[in-house]
A and B are shown apart, each in its own frame.
Chain A
Amino acid sequence: MSTAAKMIQGTPVLGKMFKVNGNDDLASINAWPSLIIMTSFVWLAIALLLGVSMPIIQYFGLNIFLFEFYTALTLHGAAMTFPFAFSLMVGVSLHRAGACMGKKADGPLVVLYYIFMNIGGLLFTLSVLAGFKITYTVMFPLPVVGAQMGVWPMWSVVLGFTGIALILVSMIILYPIQILQMIFWGKKHDELELSPRTLNDPGMLGMLIAVLVLLVSGLPLIVTASSVLLYLYGIFPAAWIGWAVTPVVFQFVFYIFAHNLMESMAIMIVSAVYGTLPLYLADGTRKLYSDKLANAALWILLITSVTSFFHHFYTMFPALPSTFSFHGNVMSWGTGIGGAFTIFTILATIWKHGLRPEPGVMMILAGFVIYCLDGVTAMIIGNVAMSYHLHGTLWVGGHAMTVLLAMSLMWMGVLYHHYPVLTNRNPDADKCRQSYRMYFIGGVGMMYTFMAGGAMGIPRRISNWVESGYMGIGVFILIFGLILSYGISMFFVTLSKSREITT
């Protein structure tokens, strides 16, 4: 039995849901992906509790340990984005890639990914508990300025940056190289190839595009952040890293990556939808309406999304020249054209062949609807004129949250689809239906509440909602947050009530 299978077996509660048969032929595409997914759900539980606690902290004006707004905010954002949403994607996509390519998903890169991501997450958590409250977007040079002002200790900056560096290496180097290795190299094992696919399939092409985006857009950040970290360790002298600590350099490379991280995750999940939807067509066709159109959508999403990151800086004119703003504007709305191609492909496929409404595929479609709704919120702040009235408000925070919720719901649907192969058990269909319905209501409700908050001009990341008269929005966030939490809890029930498949 592999180390991963043993770790799963030794984990209380969740271990039962993700237990794999460590001795069967498929252990090499099941065990590590399953462990990565299981651990991502531990982070989700933490993120969920912190998320729900935020309006409560605001209402009661709490300021104790975890129950302090900026502590909860920083940890919630970081846990939700990296060790949960990204790792959920990694776990499911590693299993998918293994089963489509007939390649093992348990090599040293996978093991290192797991260690780096989770140790990184733990170190960052410890640094935040030590006072390092920078939000998950770093806001450089805030980490250094905060230490200089005595707001948090310098050692917490070193600890936090170490955690961030481990997380970045796992996302930008280890995971993409593992996927590239599985696509292009590595020994093929016929017994692992459950659903053969090639790069001509939209379901695999998107995976390749997504990891290349991570690798290319992330490398400048790896170089910059490593330089800063080596200085913090006392290995590099200050003279060597002057360029890296220039705020505009650090924040630009950070946003180029952070923006493309989301785009890459979106391309990855759209490709997973293309791969999964045909398996649920009512007439048994198992084909998309048009592979060409689906691939075109992926290429359009790639071309437009990569340089649309300028929309993060519109309000810095003239430091960001108008021409880049206009380019960002056009590209941001160009992603909508890629989205329109995707919507058409999915609807034409369903219209042409009918759909078996099984919980997994319905969960994916519910997530896709939220993803499209969120896409419009992104395009609106991608318009230069409207951005000047919305940038930095709850609208932006709501967009970041909603895209993560949408992608996570779609991955949970894909996980539901792969679950029988992963664990040799069938999940509970009725509970899953309850789960995605409540998740959908909670997610969409949260999205509109945040957008309304943005339209009202509520700044994101402020800890005085009550004094500022914004608590009404806080109450709605709490209500929809609880509905969403119930939906996610039901997904755990779905898995915990799964039944062994007997042949």
Chain B
Amino acid sequence: MRDFIYEDGWGAFVVLLFFHIPFLIFFCRIVYKKAFVNTGPSGTAPEKYPKIEIMWISTVAVLFILVNVLSVVYMPPVSTAALTKSGTPFQEVDITAKSWYYDMSSREVEVGVPVKFSAKSGDTVHGFSVYHPDGRIVFTMMLMPGMESPTTLVHTFEEPGEYKVRCLEYCGIVHHAMQDLLVVR
């Protein structure tokens, strides 16, 4: 479940609905009731409001903290730093993005072995985004030209297949065609 939430765009969509649905019900119900059903002053005792206020803010804060704390292990900077420090051997792929193609040191990587992607841009802002064969985004990187060190990310592919590479940062009139392929064997 956590993998789905933090590693799949649809997981993020589920989190969105998790917050949206109760909010919509709650907000619309109160407005409807007090604007169309009974517009008179409420009978709620004044001393109850601060209690409800604390309960509401606490619930929101707890939910926010929970969603974010559970996400820490899925944050690529965290996993990248941990893998780099651990001394685990990994494959390296160096990428230079230019309008509108990628120079890649290798287009084939091994399944189950961590791959360190180091990407730079040679002209304008580009993206380097890897798509799973099922269409979801495995990860995306933003590449800004003129940076001293490349944008870096370590990822371990669990499934073999042909992974599409796309630019997700608008880079001019052929942006849509800036695509490549990464084969995981």
* B57 CB-CB contact with A under 8 Å: yes
Q: What are the residues of chain B within 8 A of A350 when measuring CB–CB?
A: 30-31, 34-35
CA distance A91 to B120 in the complex (A): 44
| Best-buried of A318, A344, A461 by chain B (most CB within 10 Å) | A318
Give 22 CB contacts A-B under 8 Å: A70-B173, A133-B173, A146-B172, A315-B140, A317-B80, A319-B144, A319-B151, A322-B81, A333-B67, A340-B56, A340-B60, A347-B30, A357-B35, A376-B20, A385-B72, A386-B12, A388-B137, A389-B138, A452-B13, A461-B175, A462-B176, A464-B177
Chain A contact patch, size range: 35 or more
Whether B31 pairs with A355 at a CB distance below 8 angstroms is yes
Q: How does the 8 Å CB contact mask read for A69-92 relative to B, with 1 for contact and 0 for none?
A: 010000000000000000000000
Q: How does the 8 Å CB contact mask read for A311-327 relative to B, with 1 for contact and 0 for none?
A: 00101111100100100
Within 8 A of B (CB), among A402-421: none
Please judge, given known A-B contacts A246-B146, A317-B76, A369-B28, whether A352 and B172 are in contact too, CB under 8 Å: no
Please judge, given known A-B contacts A145-B123, A248-B146, whether A389 and B136 are in contact too, CB under 8 Å: yes
Which of A246, A344, A457 has a CB less than 8 Å from the CB of B56?
A: A344
Q: How far is the CB of B117 from chain A (nearest CB, A)?
A: 11
Which of A135, A141, A352 has a CB less than 8 Å from the CB of B44?
A: A352
Which of B85-93, B105-113, B124-132 lines the interface with chain A? Answer: B124-132
Q: What are the residues of chain A within 8 A of B135 when measuring CB–CB?
A: 456-457
Q: What are the residues of chain B within 8 A of A391 when measuring CB–CB?
A: 140, 142, 168
* B156 CB-CB contact with A under 8 Å: no
Whether A392 pairs with B168 at a CB distance below 8 angstroms is yes
Whether B27 pairs with A392 at a CB distance below 8 angstroms is no
Q: How far is the CB of A410 from chain B (nearest CB, A)?
A: 14
Whether B16 pairs with A354 at a CB distance below 8 angstroms is no
The 5 closest A-B CB pairs, nearest first, are A392-B168, A455-B9, A354-B39, A385-B74, A462-B176
Please judge, given known A-B contacts A376-B19, A393-B137, whether A354 and B175 are in contact too, CB under 8 Å: no
Within 8 A of A (CB), among B50-96: 52-53, 56-57, 60-61, 64, 67-68, 71-72, 74-78, 80-81
* A6 CB-CB contact with B under 8 Å: no
Not counting A139-B124, A318-B151, A452-B13, a sample of 11 additional A-B residue pairs whose C-beta atoms are within 8 angstroms of each other reads: A133-B172, A141-B145, A248-B147, A319-B151, A336-B60, A347-B30, A356-B35, A388-B137, A390-B12, A392-B142, A457-B137
Whether A151 pairs with B172 at a CB distance below 8 angstroms is yes
Whether A343 pairs with B19 at a CB distance below 8 angstroms is no
Q: How far is the CB of A354 from chain B (nearest CB, A)?
A: 4
Q: How far is the CB of A381 from chain B (nearest CB, A)?
A: 8
Whether B61 pairs with A337 at a CB distance below 8 angstroms is yes
Please judge, given known A-B contacts A457-B9, A462-B176, whether A373 and B20 are in contact too, CB under 8 Å: yes
* B157 CB-CB contact with A under 8 Å: no
Which of A135, A376, A377, A385 has a CB less than 8 Å from the CB of B71?
A: A385
Which of B7, B49, B78, B144 has a CB less than 8 Å from the CB of A251?
A: B144
List the interface of chain A (C-beta within 8 A of B): 70, 133-135, 137, 139-142, 145-146, 149, 151, 246-248, 251, 282-283, 289, 293, 313, 315-319, 322, 325, 329-330, 333, 336-337, 340-341, 343-344, 347-348, 350-357, 362, 365, 369, 372-373, 376-377, 379-380, 383-386, 388-393, 395, 451-452, 454-457, 459-464, 468
Please judge, given known A-B contacts A142-B125, A316-B151, whether A352 and B146 are in contact too, CB under 8 Å: no
CA distance A457 to B171 in the complex (A): 18
Instruction: Count CB-based A-B contacts (< 8 Å).
Output: 243
CA distance A319 to B167 in the complex (A): 18
CA distance A383 to B12 in the complex (A): 10
Whether A388 pairs with B76 at a CB distance below 8 angstroms is yes
Which of B23, B143, B170 has a CB less than 8 Å from the CB of A372?
A: B23
CA distance A454 to B124 in the complex (A): 23
Q: What are the residues of chain A within 8 A of B170 when measuring CB–CB?
A: 134-135, 137, 139, 142, 460-461
Whether A451 pairs with B13 at a CB distance below 8 angstroms is yes
CA distance A457 to B67 in the complex (A): 22
Q: How far is the CB of A466 from chain B (nearest CB, A)?
A: 11
Residue of B nearest to A246 (CB): B146
Which of A135, A388, A463 has a CB less than 8 Å from the CB of B140?
A: A388
Q: What are the residues of chain B within 8 A of A390 when measuring CB–CB?
A: 9, 12, 137
CA distance A463 to B175 in the complex (A): 8
CA distance A58 to B136 in the complex (A): 22
Please judge, given known A-B contacts A322-B81, A344-B56, whether A389 and B8 are in contact too, CB under 8 Å: yes
Please judge, given known A-B contacts A385-B74, A457-B131, whether A139 and B171 are in contact too, CB under 8 Å: yes
Whether B124 pairs with A141 at a CB distance below 8 angstroms is yes
Please judge, given known A-B contacts A145-B123, A344-B56, A350-B35, whether A248 and B144 are in contact too, CB under 8 Å: yes
Residue of B nearest to A133 (CB): B173
Which of B125, B138, B153 has a CB less than 8 Å from the CB of A317?
A: B153
